[in-house]
Each structure stands twice: as structure tokens, then as C-alpha cells.
Chains A and B, each alone.
Chain A
Amino acid sequence: MTRTGTRATLIAAGIALGMAANATHAQTIKIGVNEPLTGAVAASGNFVVNGAKIAADEINAKGGVLGSKIELVIEDNKSNPTEAVAAAEKLIVRDKVPVMMGAWSSTYTLAVMPKLMEYKVPMLVETSSSDKITVSGNPYIFRISPTSGMEANAFAPRVGALKIRKADFLVVNNDWGKGAADVFAKMLKSKGIAIGVVATMDASAQDLNAQLSKIRSSDADTLFVTTAVEQLTLVLKQAHALGLKRQIITTGGSQSPDQLIEQAGAAANGSYHLLFFPPWFPEASPDAARAKAFVAEWRKRGFTFAGLTEGFRGYDGIHTIVAAIAKAGKAEPEAIRKALWNTTLTGLNGKIAFTKAGPAGKESGQSIPAVYVVKIDNGKVTLFR
């Protein structure tokens, strides 16, 4: 390296490393939030954070927990696993949060998991659905979102009512979509239903005519679709344009039926959706009053109504964490972790309680949520029992 090269490097290093220490404010209990706020899945991450903020404000209005207010320390993981790890590191090391919520996508959550083991800090998983998360032997993971397997099992009783004889699958080409196709196919086969075409689509693909044309030529009567709301809108529109006449059932919980109605119009009619929170029917939720209050507050803050089907995850997540902190009696990682095993509450989705999952001695916590089925008819959402 030349002299100036070394000089420049030293100066750059000095600038980079010479940063002021952060100021810590005493007397608030911090909860780390690790979500994608920019990048490919920013919309969903922002919805979850909105829900979390509503929960935090609600809790603080009632005096907080253990005599202190709670403070959400929110970090953006930029829809990127490397950043998810960096965000977790910052939250734990710099902000010294005793507990975290995150990280939305299964890959980001998996990336953060070694950090949890290293620093012994528990994390509440609110959206990720990969099986790997709870079977990797990580006792610091507590998940309230279901795996696709649980979703399929919860849906199984309604299969008969929908008169399915043969099903095709069109899923997004990632862990979530493929996982869903696998477990739903298995569940259907166990009921004697045949499986037809299983097609995938790249997460950023917008033209799905090729896959839909192929599906159109199959003789199935039902199409299962698993993907996020943007791509789902495209699937419905293009299926309609191709004259695809069969019943469409969507899974995964990221469908936002209102957005589908708004953007796909008539193409959305007749479709069924598996969700974990039905904001149009707060009375269907076990804690109806609280659901109504949540929906009202969401509206009041001017958030997109369609985001409620994801925002509730942040809400339930924060409430679960705070309940655990209250039970633990102190805001420390190990105490909170132990307390989570004994935490039960009624969330917007249903009862939350953690059962053991994974290898013995190193189990993670998994709560088994309820699944709701709604149908879109003539531009309106109806509950399908």
C-alpha cells in the first residue's frame, strides 16, 4: 500500500470507528423489534410494526408493566438476512434489549437464531412459518405464528364441505410457498383427493400466464395458491382473463382480502382464503371487544385496512412479550424466557400458550393458532364456517 493509501485507510477507519456512545434512557423497559421496513417485503414488515406500536401504546396507557413504560426499539433488517443479523446484534449489544420480536421471513429468523444462543436472549417469532425454526434445538425461540403444517391440519375438517376432488397448486418459489404445497398436498392425499399440477412462481414474477395456462389444461376442480397479496392479485386477474373456472383457495395469512377486492375486482369473487385474523368479523375472534378496539385504533391511525391481516401479528406479539415480562417480575432475558413457558393469554387470533417443540432438552416454544376461512362474494367478505 502506498503511504497515502495507508493514510487514507487510517483516516477512514478513524472516522468510521470514532462514534459517540449512545445515550441510554433509564426507566423504560425495551423490547427489540427486528422487521423488514425497506426492500422487497417492506409493506408487510411495516404492517407488523404498526400493530406492535398500537399494542405498545395501549399498554403504556394502562401504566406499562412492572411500573415502567415499555419502549419499542425498532430496527430495519432491509429484507436481507445479513442485515437481520446485524440488527439483532445491535439490539442486543447496544440497546441491551432483554427480549426481541422478529424477523418476519423464515430466512431472517433462521439467520438471527445463532445470535440468540450466543447472547441467551429470547425472541418471539410472529410471522415465520418454516418448520426448521422450532426443530433446530434453540430454546430461545417462541413462536405464535403457525407452520404450514398446522394450517393444513386446521383446514382439514372443512375439505369435505368444499367438495374438492382434485387439486392443483400454484405457489411462490420460496420456503413458505413450497412448504405449504407439500403439507397441503399430503393432507389432501390422506383424504383421498388427487393432486394435479404443482407449479411455482418466482417471488418477483408478474406474468403468470404460462403457469395458469398449464393449470387450465388440467382436469382439477380446485386451485390452491400460496403467495403474498401483490402476486395473488395478479394470479386472480390473470386467471380470470384466461377463463380459468374453478374454485381458488389461498393460504398463508398474507392475503389481505380487501386489497384483493379493490385491485382484482370481479376476478376475486368466489375465492376462499385461510387467515389468522378476520378483521371484518371481530366477533368471531375469542376476545371480540379487544378485536373491535384494535380495528378501530388501526382505522383511526389511518393505516391501510388491508394490512390488518398482518398487523395483528405485531399486536399479539407485543402483548405476549409484555405478559411474560409481568410474569417474570423483572426485565431480564433468562427470567423472561422461563416466564414465556408459563404465559397464556387470549390474543386476537385465539389462545396463546407455548408447547414444547423440537429435540428434547432444547425445545422451542410453539403456540397453536386458530385458522379462519373467509370467502369473497360479490365484492364482500363473508365468513365460511
Chain B
Amino acid sequence: MDELLQHVVNALMLGGTYALLGIGLTLIFGIMRVVNFTHGELYAFGGYMIFMCTALLGLNFYVALLVAVILGVALGAAIELLLLRPMRGADIDTTMLIMIGTWIVLQNTEQMIWGGVAKSIVPPLSTEPLVLGPVSVAWLRVFVFAAAAVLIVATYALINRTRLGKAMRATFQDRDTAALMGVNVHAINTATFALGSGLAAAAGALLGTVFVVTPTMGDLAALKAFAIVILGGLGSITGATAGGFILAFVEEMGAGYVSSGYRDAMGFLLIIVVLLFRPTGLFARAERIG
């Protein structure tokens, strides 16, 4: 029973950040229909930026976190403006290849600048864990969970309660009509990509502190992000959030009780099974966002 409780808490903590990763990608994949292979690199970028700010510039951890997210938004906007916008109208796989190329360039640039050795970030939190009976959890994880929750709620509010969000939803439903109604589709695309990238950078900064920062840290994260997006349904924030937690639970329980070697396979098997029965994901209701 103790072990089960611990597994549940582990999964909860992990699920929050998975959700963050998934939401960022579902926006980009859902609205822009871009198979965004740089999502993992924005995640790694967030990790390196927070490292740079804390270790080299000596900034306060929380400030550094904010800076990392802002830089992530900026990089996302830059990628969209420079590489994606000129390719508007091209096939989905042509754009995908540009994303792959960018992924390769970004990852190797990171290795060139920082080297392949892992970097770690020290947060201003106690390293002694919070112990509640049989369950033990690091304070840092609690903070990360809280931060992720805040970001998820903020994004949900942005999409559903603001004009920008309304414009995004409109573009998602019907690009041409939205354009006719006066929505600046180009700007929406940039904003969406930037927002999604910012969320990835946030996840990277948070998880980079929990784990370590390496040039290849984005690869597995990107794969999971795609999995979460599909589980939850393209364009659905609720879906991505739920998908994130579901994936975390399946992985945690699978590794704890079935087999630790097949841990990552659990998630993918789940996807295949889900898609067999619900081809548009668990939560998508046709083409909707929100």
C-alpha cells in the first residue's frame, strides 16, 4: 500500500510537466499543422537558458526561470518568422523536414557551446524531502508541480477568455473564414508557435532543474509530447493535460508493477490501443480547441 501511494504521488508530480509539454505541442500541431520536431529542442533550450542565467549570470532562480521562458518565446517566434512563414503553403512533410534540420542544428550548437557533459542547476529549496507518512517527495518537485499548474491554468485562460485566444480558436476552426473576418492569420501563427515554444522552454527549465541538462535531453521529451498530444486529441488543451497525467500514471505503474524495462513501451502501446478505438484521441471533439 505504501509503495502504491508513493507511485501515485510520483505520477502526479510527473504528470504536471508532461501536461505542460503536451499543451505546447498540441497548440502548434493542432493549429498550425506543423510536425514540430524542434519542440524537444526548445525544451532543452529552456534548460540551458536557466543554467546560463543561474550559473553564469548569477541571477536569482525564479528570475532565471522567467527569463528562460521569455527567451523560449523569442526563439519560437524567430523560428516561425524565419523558417516557417516563408514556407506557408508547402506540404506538411516539407515543413517537417525544415523542423528536423533545425533540430539537428540546434542540438549540435548546444553541444558545441556547452559540451556534452551534463549541467545541473541548484534551486534555492531544501534538498531534504517532504515526508508525509509513507510518501516522500522532493520540495523541488512540489514547486515544479505548482508552477506547471499555474502555467496550465494561465494558458487555458489565455485561449478561452482573451481576444487573442478567440482569434487562435477561430483560425484553428477555419483559417479562411477567420482571415475574412479580419484575423491576422500570420500574426496568429507566430503567436501560437511562440506560445507553444515558451511552454516547452518552461517545461525544460523546470525539469532541467529536477534532473540535469544535456544536449540530447529534448529527444525523449519530444517523443512523449507527441504521444500526449495524440492521446488527448489535436488542439485540445484539456486533452493534453489529461493525456499528460494518463501517460505519467501508465509509465509509473507499468515500471513499478509490470516491468521497468518496458516502462517507455507502456506509453506507446497505450497510444496504439487508444487510436484503434478512438482514432481522434480521447478528448478531441472533431476540430475544436479549448
Q: Which residues of A contact B (CB under 8 A)?
A: 38-40, 42-43, 46, 173, 199-202, 204-207, 209-211, 213-214, 216-217, 229-230, 233-234, 237-238, 240-243, 259, 262-263, 265-267, 304, 306-307
**B131: A residues at CB distance < 8 A:** 243
Which residues of chain A are near B216, meaning CB under 8 Å? Answer: 39-40, 204
Residue pair B263, A210 in contact (C-beta under 8 Å) = yes
B116 touches A229 (CB 8 A): no
| Beta-carbon contacts under 8 Å, B15-42 to A | none
Query: A178's closest neighbor in chain B, by CB?
Result: B261
- Chain B contact residues, CB within 8 Å of chain A: 2-3, 6-7, 10, 14, 108, 111, 115-118, 120, 122, 127, 129, 131, 136-138, 141, 207, 211-212, 214-217, 219-220, 251-256, 260-261, 263-264
Q: In the assembly, what is the distance between CA of A19 and CA of B10, in Å?
A: 56
Q: Quick check: B116 and A46 within 8 Å, CB to CB?
A: yes
Contacts A206-B211, A242-B6, A263-B212 known; list 17 others, CB within 8 Å: A40-B216, A43-B115, A43-B116, A205-B220, A206-B212, A206-B220, A210-B255, A210-B263, A213-B3, A241-B136, A243-B136, A259-B118, A263-B118, A263-B120, A265-B122, A267-B127, A304-B117
Given known A210-B7, A213-B6, A217-B2, contact A240–B127 (CB-CB < 8 A): yes
Q: Which of A199, A207, A211, A243 interacts with B211 by CB under 8 Å?
A: A207
Assess whether A38 is in contact with B211, with CB atoms less than 8 Å apart: no
| B118 pairs with A217, CB closer than 8 A | no
C-alpha gap A211/B263 in the complex (Å): 10
Instruction: Please determine whether A209 and B260 come into contact, CB atoms closer than 8 angstroms.
Output: no
What residues on A are CB-neighbors of B120 within 8 Å? Answer: 233, 262-263
Closest approach, in angstroms, between the C-beta of B258 and any C-beta of chain A? Answer: 10
- The complex places the Cα of A204 from the Cα of B223 at a distance, in Å, of 12
Pair B117/A43 contact, Cβ less than 8 Å: yes
Tell me, in angstroms, the Cα distance from A343 to B120 when the chains sit together. 43
Q: By CB atoms of chain B within 10 A, which of A209, A233, A307 has the most?
A: A209
**A209 is contacted by which of B10, B207, B254, B261 (Cβ under 8 Å)?**
B10
Give the docked Cα–Cα distance between A96 and B2 (Å): 62
Task: Return the contact of A242 from the options B117, B129, B253 (Cβ within 8 A).
Answer: B129
A357 CB to closest chain B CB (Å) equals 30
> How far apart are B105's CB and chain A's nearest CB, in angstroms?
13
Q: How far is the CB of A23 from chain B (nearest CB, A)?
A: 27
**B214: which of A211, A230, A259, A265 is its contact (CB, 8 Å)?**
A230
Q: Enumerate chain A residues within 8 angstroms of B118, measured Cβ to Cβ.
A: 43, 229-230, 233, 259, 263
Other-chain contact of B129, A38, A213, A243 (Cβ < 8 Å): A243
Q: Are B111 and A265 in contact (CB under 8 A)?
A: no
Q: Which of A204, A262, A265 has the most CB of B within 10 A?
A: A204
Contacts A43-B116, A210-B260; A204 near B141 (Cβ below 8 A): no
A213 touches B7 (CB 8 A): yes
B6 contacts A200, CB within 8 Å? no
Quick one: closest B residue to A41, CB to CB? B116
Contact residues in A for B137 (Cβ distance below 8 Å)? 241
Known: A217-B2, A263-B118. A241 touches B141 (CB 8 A): yes
CA–CA, A238 to B108, complex, Å? 29
In the complex, which residues of chain A have a beta carbon less than 8 angstroms from the beta carbon of B219?
204
24 CB contacts below 8 A, A to B, read A39-B216, A206-B211, A206-B217, A209-B252, A210-B253, A211-B260, A213-B3, A213-B7, A213-B10, A214-B3, A214-B255, A217-B3, A229-B118, A230-B214, A237-B138, A240-B127, A240-B129, A241-B129, A241-B136, A241-B138, A242-B136, A259-B118, A263-B118, A265-B127
Question: Residues of B contacting A204 with CB < 8 Å?
Answer: 216, 219-220
Residue among B111, B255, B261 facing the most chain A CB atoms (10 A cut-off): B255
Q: Nearest chain B CB to A68's CB is how many angstroms away? A: 33
B6 surroundings in chain A (CB, below 8 A): 209, 213, 216, 242
Alpha-carbon separation in the docked complex, A200 to B256 (Å): 11
Determine whether the beta carbon of A201 is less than 8 Å from that of B260: yes
A201 contact set on B, CB distance < 8 A = 260, 263
Smallest CB separation, B46 vs chain A (Å): 15
The docked-state distance in angstroms from the alpha carbon of A333 to that of B253 is 54
Q: Is the Cβ of A173 less than 8 Å from the Cβ of B261? A: yes
Given A173-B261, A263-B120, A210 contacting B127 (CB threshold 8 A): no
Bound complex: CA A241 to CA B120 (Å): 16
Beta-carbon contact of B220 and A38 below 8 Å: no
Q: Which residues of chain B are within 8 angstroms of A217 by Cβ–Cβ distance?
A: 2-3
Chain B's nearest CB lies how many Å from the CB of A184?
A: 18
Task: Please give the distance in Å from B282's CB to the nearest CB on chain A.
Answer: 23
B65 to chain A: closest CB distance in Å?
A: 19
In the assembled complex, the Cα of A367 lies from the Cα of B215 at a distance in Å of: 35
Alpha-carbon distance A202/B224, docked complex (angstroms): 14
* Residues of chain A contacted by B136 (CB below 8 angstroms): 241-243
A217 to B14, CA, bound (A): 21
Q: For the complex, give the distance between the alpha carbons of A202 and B264 in Å.
A: 8
Of all A-B residue pairs in the complex, the 9 with the closest CB atoms, nearest first, are: A210-B255, A241-B138, A43-B116, A263-B120, A42-B116, A209-B10, A206-B211, A243-B136, A230-B118
- Are B212 and A200 in contact (CB-based, < 8 A)? no
Q: What is the distance, in angstroms, from A26's C-beta to the closest C-beta of chain B?
A: 34
Question: B66 → chain A, closest Cβ, in Å?
Answer: 23
CA distance A266 to B122 in the complex (A): 12
> Contacts A43-B116, A216-B6, A241-B141: A210 and B211 contacting too (C-beta < 8 A)?
no
The residue in chain A whose Cβ has the minimal distance to the Cβ of B14 is A207
Shortest beta-carbon distance from A124 to chain B in Å: 23
Q: Which of A205, A259, A306 counts the most chain B CB atoms within 10 A?
A: A205
Q: Given the complex, which residues of B lie within 8 Å of A209, measured CB to CB?
A: 6, 10, 14, 252
Q: Report whether B214 and A210 are in contact in the complex, using a CB–CB cutoff of 8 Å.
A: no
Say how far A273's CB is from chain B's closest CB, in angstroms: 17
Cα distance A40–B261 in the bound complex, in angstroms: 19
Closest B residue to A199 by beta carbon equals B260
Contact, CB under 8 Å: B256 / A234: no
CB <8 Å contact, A210 and B117: no
**Roughly how many angstroms separate A186 CA and B200 CA in the complex, as a whole number?**
45
Contacts of B263 in A (CB 8 A): 201-202, 205, 210
